[in-house]
Amino acid sequence: MHDATILLSLFSFCNFAGRLGGGAISEHFVRTRTIPRTVWITCAQALMVATYLLYASAIDRTLYIATALLGICYGVQFSVMLPTVSELFGLKHFGIFYNLIALGNPIGAFLFSGLLAAYVYDTEAAKQRESNSMLHSSGFSCLGPDCFRLTFLVLAGASAFSSIVSFILTLRIKPVYETLYAGGSFRLPRTSDDQ
């Protein structure tokens, strides 16, 4: 139980750091180099692929590193999605878009945790129960990295797919960001010190 508390605290702190850092970095690069914010979503998704593969490999002493990386990635994505939506679609229906973004968490939790992870865990527990004929009790739990390995591999695949999609999105919206930030209404007015 002590490890679970530490992991949750580590994830939460890194999520906060990812939100703060992701927002600041995306703001800096969009204003100085007109790099679309979706670049950072792509980078976070690519890092999530590596993180989920790290979880799936179950290498000793990598649980804390993987948890920290996952927290940072989630934080970066959340902090970058909101301004991206407002820049691309405006603020008229921002409340609807925000709630659609927020809807991703419960849907993802239901699909990947409620359905996939539960099914994989139960299937692996049944295999282990059959191989250990002495442990035919109904309360037998799954033990070892195989209990969630397939789940993490599927999550890595989903993250790889989403990083490809966000890379394509980045290429497609680059002209929009160049229009918005290369001298458009979002650029701060030049002062006499800039000249």
Q: Where are the domains of the chain?
A: 2-181
Average pLDDT on 150-178 reads 95
Nearest to 74 by CA among 107, 40, 24: 40
Q: What is the pLDDT of residue 61?
A: 87
> Cβ(20)–Cβ(80) under 8 Å?
no
Confidence of residue 180 (pLDDT cuts 50, 70, 90): confident
Q: What is the pLDDT of residue 36?
A: 94
Residue 78 has pLDDT above 60, yes or no: yes
Task: Map tokens 């998704």 to a residue.
Answer: 45
Residue 191 has pLDDT above 70, yes or no: no
**Cα separation, 14 vs 18, whole angstroms:** 6
Query: How do residues 136-150 score in pLDDT, each as one tens digit?
Result: 555 668 888 889 999
Mean pLDDT of the chain: 88
Give pLDDT, residue 55.
95
pLDDT reading at 47 higher than 60: yes
Q: How many helices (H) and strands (E) does the chain have?
A: 6, 0
State yes or no: pLDDT of 133 exceeds 70: no
> What's the whole-number mean pLDDT along residues 114-139?
80
CATH superfamily of 2-181: MFS general substrate transporter like domains (1.20.1250.20)
Q: How far is CA 118 from the centre of its chain?
A: 21
In the prediction, which pLDDT does 57 show? 94
Overall average pLDDT of the 57-67 stretch: 92
Asked if pLDDT for residue 135 goes beyond 60, the answer is: no
